[in-house]
Chain A
Amino acid sequence: MTDSNETRSQMPLGLAQRGYTGVIQHLAAGDAGSALSDIELESRLIELGFVEGARVEVLHEGLVGRDPIAVRVDNITIAVRRREAMAVIVA
């Protein structure tokens, strides 16, 4: 996973397709347009393991609007809506 980091462009996890794998670069809570405040969103993401350097893989998508997504974050699986996943910048 580490080999391609230099060459791949950064993108929000919220736009990733099923099967995408990558590494978290940073969190950008302000860009997500979530109902939560930036601090609250960032805190919750960290509490669920979304920290810099964690490996992520999009495992599943919901039926309506391919939302929410089930994301493997290191060795646990987290369900999250795409709107909030926009705050997680991956590459």
Chain B
Amino acid sequence: MELPLLHLALVGTPNSGKTSLFNALTGSRQKVANYPGVTVERKEGFFVTPMGRQVSVVDLPGTYSLRGRSPDEEITRDFVLGKATGETVPDLVLCVADSTNLRLTIRLLLELKRTGRPMILVLNMFDIATRRGVTVDVARLAKELGVPVVTSIAVRKGGTADLLALTDEISAKLAAEPQENSWRTLSVAELRATQREADRIIADCVSLPARPDTWTARIDAIVLHPVGGLVVLALILFVMFQAVFAWAQPAMDLLKSGFDMIGGLVQATLPDGLLQSFLQNGVIAGVGSVIVFLPQIILIFLFILLLEDFGYMARAAFLMDRIMGGAGLHGRAFIPLLSSFACAIPGIMATRVIDNKRDRLTTILIAPLMTCSARIPVYTLIISAFIPAKDIWGFINLQGLVMFGLYATGIASALAVSFLIKFFMLRDYAPAPFMLELPDYKMPRLKSIAIGVYTRAKMFLYRAGTTIFSMMVLIWFLASFPQPPAGSTEPAIDFSLAAIIGKAIEPLLAPVGFNWQIAVALIPGMAAREVAVAALGTVYAIEGGKEAAEQIGQVLATKWSLATALSMLAWYIFAPQCASTLAVIRRETGSWTWMAVTFGYMLVLAYAASFVTYNVAVALGAG
């Protein structure tokens, strides 16, 4: 008889290596979704135990207690208690501990025990602990805690074997009689008593060397230096953006020639006509021009995940806390804002680590000003078409420098907007506390990072395959119909719906130097910013014939003035068009008003920035 699916839940403090363990157990067999009704990320994975038992494991948000002071922590509490809507009560809870740092986890475990769920304490990163001279009397610890204890090394092949064997052993004899849940919110006195109890057990079972991790101390001496630390942070960000611009180029060129080849193949094999135009201009040129940016998106996520895994992100928050505090932001806002460089959506979702409502709202409002990866296609296209690729001072790439400037402008305006919000809207405001664990540095786990990058790349391609693809079909349709009357000499697109719409909006955009082709491209850009590039490609391809489709950049360089190009760059620093971001803001703030406010203020900023840029550029002779 097939045994029913075994449900496991991973619980642990932040930085306990929970996610590494999750990745080690499940590999890429993961499903990422949201818990119903809230936007907390729900990560579920699957694996089979050595004895053949099918297992589902859920990676619950990290928490120090079951008090539930944020939506994430409430999920963890409700899930363990079996109160989460639409979730199965876990058969077995794996409480994951960083073996080098047991105090906080043992306290959490003592609290978890009161829920009555069957549980295993997993001493993760046991190799690091051993190397540092930490010895644990595992048998005694298990006896004192009344909970099975197992060691694991998530980063090593076979490092979870003991855990798997124990899971099999325990699940085979899981008691049929459910245990009583005696958990309730702990009072301060109880909290203190549990921590004392935890400290007593640790003193009995664990011998800790007095010396802290010397590497962490050495690195922190530089990285957390009041001045030196900020220089290091700036250097890291600078390298990151140079890398995204320069290192991704070969891979992008390769992808691009691949799509050009397929396009050429379609053109050669299919007869001239609508089907050929649809496949070549609509599908291949359109979707291709977005997929080309995959290498850059992989790189930016690679950097973010590496820094996170290494343990640097919390340091960055520490360095930026007061500086961001001057602009009315919480130090914890740094991580969501940094994630927003990849995409504002995970960034806005990550604001849940900020438990003060106002701090969170401010962060949500400015997150879309961080230059997300969807803007990279637009920036790259225009920069490579208009900014010469020369080196200044021999080693700084001018194109990279412009890119850095665009990012810097985004950051500066985000800080300015935040300052204004603090000043005008949230005046009666007391800063929320900043309390954060600075974990010891760890060598980033390549497999875990690979899985993370893979999951994100998959999401990007999925979007390219669905949203972006359907928008491209729509643009192609708008740009191709109605067809020009027979014998007309003007470009076909002049007769199309796209031209009609674009020309209707053009007067509004003329003061910022945009022509009707840009107006057409901005509309589908609402679905996703990067679509604007593909849309420009489609519009100019259909207008200019096949040659134009090959090199959007070169076409732009002949059709736009430098002033228009700069104005477009300025527009995209602020451009509010991203329906998904707006939808997430609506969901996270629970309010249409804040969504409308975001859209409105970004639109005003975009228009103003473009207007100034265009007119200054024209005055300087770039018109």
List the A side residues contacting B196 at CB < 8 Å.
Answer: 51
On whether the beta carbons of B331 and A68 are closer than 8 Å, the reply is: yes
On whether the beta carbons of B435 and A79 are closer than 8 Å, the reply is: yes
> Of B69, B103, B220, B321, which is within 8 A of A68 by CB?
B321
On whether the beta carbons of A47 and B436 are closer than 8 Å, the reply is: no
A49 interface hit (Cβ, 8 Å): yes
List the A side residues contacting B192 at CB < 8 Å.
Answer: 46, 51-52
Name the residue on B nearest A74 (C-beta): B103
B208 interface hit (Cβ, 8 Å): yes
Q: Which residues 413-443 of B sit at the A interface, judged by CB distance below 8 A?
A: 430-440
> Of A48, A65, A66, which is within 8 A of B435 by CB?
A48
Q: How far is the CA of A36 from the CA of B321 in the complex (A)?
A: 18
List the A side residues contacting B107 at CB < 8 Å.
Answer: 47
List the B side residues contacting A79 at CB < 8 Å.
Answer: 314, 317-318, 321, 331, 434-438
> Of B188, B322, B431, which is within 8 A of A62 by CB?
B322
Contacts A64-B322, A67-B322; A83 near B64 (Cβ below 8 A): no
On whether the beta carbons of B433 and A78 are closer than 8 Å, the reply is: no
Name the residue on A nearest B356 (C-beta): A35
B29 interface hit (Cβ, 8 Å): no
B230 interface hit (Cβ, 8 Å): yes
Name the residue on B nearest A76 (C-beta): B101
Contacts A35-B356, A46-B188, A51-B195; A76 near B103 (Cβ below 8 A): yes
**Contact indicator per residue, chain A 33-64, by CB within 8 Å of chain B (1) or not (0):** 01110011111111111011000000111111
On whether the beta carbons of A68 and B100 are closer than 8 Å, the reply is: no
On whether the beta carbons of B433 and A61 are closer than 8 Å, the reply is: no
B227 interface hit (Cβ, 8 Å): yes
List the A side residues contacting B595 at CB < 8 Å.
Answer: none
List the A side residues contacting B226 at CB < 8 Å.
Answer: 60-63, 66
B191 interface hit (Cβ, 8 Å): yes
Contacts A43-B188, A75-B212; A49 near B104 (Cβ below 8 A): yes
Most chain B beta-carbon neighbours within 10 Å: one of A43, A48, A65, A72: A43
On whether the beta carbons of B191 and A43 are closer than 8 Å, the reply is: yes
Q: How far is the CA of A43 from the CA of B187 in the complex (A)?
A: 8
Name the residue on A nearest B433 (C-beta): A84
**Contact indicator per residue, chain B 30-67, by CB within 8 Å of chain A (1) or not (0):** 00000000000000000000000000000000001101
A80 interface hit (Cβ, 8 Å): yes
**Contact indicator per residue, chain B 324-341, by CB within 8 Å of chain A (1) or not (0):** 011000010000000000
List the A side residues contacting B166 at CB < 8 Å.
Answer: none
Count chain B residues whose beta carbon lies closer than 8 angstroms to a beta carbon of A.
49
A11 interface hit (Cβ, 8 Å): no
- Report the minimal beta-carbon distance from A69 to chain B, rounded to whole angstroms: 9
Contacts A43-B67, A47-B191; A63 near B227 (Cβ below 8 A): yes
On whether the beta carbons of A42 and B188 are closer than 8 Å, the reply is: yes
List the A side residues contacting B439 at CB < 8 Å.
Answer: 77
Q: How far is the CA of A5 from the CA of B249 in the complex (A)?
A: 62
B319 interface hit (Cβ, 8 Å): yes
List the A side residues contacting B326 at CB < 8 Å.
Answer: 64
List the B side residues contacting A61 at CB < 8 Å.
Answer: 226
List the A side residues contacting B322 at CB < 8 Å.
Answer: 62-65, 67-68
Name the residue on B nearest A47 (C-beta): B64
Name the residue on A nearest B429 (C-beta): A35
On whether the beta carbons of A51 and B224 are closer than 8 Å, the reply is: no
List the A side residues contacting B208 at CB < 8 Å.
Answer: 75
In the complex, which range does the number of interface residues on chain A fall in?
Answer: 35 or more
List the B side residues contacting A52 at CB < 8 Å.
Answer: 192
**Contact indicator per residue, chain B 90-129, by CB within 8 Å of chain A (1) or not (0):** 0000000000110110010000000000000000000000
Q: How far is the CA of A46 from the CA of B186 in the complex (A)?
A: 12
B597 interface hit (Cβ, 8 Å): no
Q: How far is the CA of A26 from the CA of B323 in the complex (A)?
A: 31
On whether the beta carbons of B321 and A72 are closer than 8 Å, the reply is: no
Contacts A62-B318, A62-B322, A77-B438; A47 near B188 (Cβ below 8 A): no
B199 interface hit (Cβ, 8 Å): yes
List the B side residues contacting A62 at CB < 8 Å.
Answer: 226, 318-319, 321-322
A16 interface hit (Cβ, 8 Å): no
Q: How far is the CA of A42 from the CA of B122 in the complex (A)?
A: 28
List the A side residues contacting B216 at CB < 8 Å.
Answer: 77
**Contact indicator per residue, chain B 184-202, by CB within 8 Å of chain A (1) or not (0):** 0010100110011001000
List the B side residues contacting A39 at CB < 8 Å.
Answer: 188
A70 interface hit (Cβ, 8 Å): yes
> Of B69, B191, B220, B440, which is within 8 A of A70 by CB?
B220
List the B side residues contacting A76 at CB < 8 Å.
Answer: 101, 103-104, 437
List the A side residues contacting B195 at CB < 8 Å.
Answer: 46, 49, 51
> Of A43, A51, A72, which is within 8 A of B212 by CB?
A72
- Report the minimal beta-carbon distance from B336 to chain A, rounded to whole angstroms: 17
Most chain B beta-carbon neighbours within 10 Å: one of A72, A77, A80: A77
Q: How far is the CA of A46 from the CA of B195 in the complex (A)?
A: 8
Contacts A49-B103, A63-B322, A76-B103; A44 near B212 (Cβ below 8 A): no
Contacts A36-B433, A51-B195, A59-B220; A78 near B319 (Cβ below 8 A): no
Q: How far is the CA of A81 from the CA of B436 in the complex (A)?
A: 10
List the B side residues contacting A67 at CB < 8 Å.
Answer: 321-322
Q: How far is the CA of A48 from the CA of B192 in the complex (A)?
A: 11
- Report the minimal beta-carbon distance from B115 to chain A, rounded to whole angstroms: 17
Contacts A43-B191, A46-B188, A77-B437; A35 near B227 (Cβ below 8 A): no
Q: Which residues of A contact B (CB under 8 A)?
A: 34-36, 39-49, 51-52, 59-68, 70, 72, 74-81, 83-84
Q: What would 22 A/B residue contacts be, using CB atoms closer than 8 Å? A: A35-B433, A39-B188, A43-B65, A43-B67, A43-B188, A46-B191, A47-B107, A51-B196, A51-B199, A59-B217, A60-B318, A62-B226, A63-B229, A64-B322, A64-B326, A66-B226, A68-B331, A70-B224, A75-B101, A76-B103, A78-B435, A81-B434
Question: Top 3 A-B pairs ranked by shortest CB distance?
Answer: A64-B322, A63-B226, A35-B430
Q: A60-B226, A68-B318 are in contact. List 19 more A-B contacts (CB 8 A).
A: A35-B431, A36-B433, A40-B69, A47-B65, A47-B107, A48-B104, A60-B220, A60-B224, A60-B225, A60-B318, A62-B226, A62-B318, A62-B319, A65-B322, A66-B226, A75-B101, A77-B440, A81-B433, A84-B434
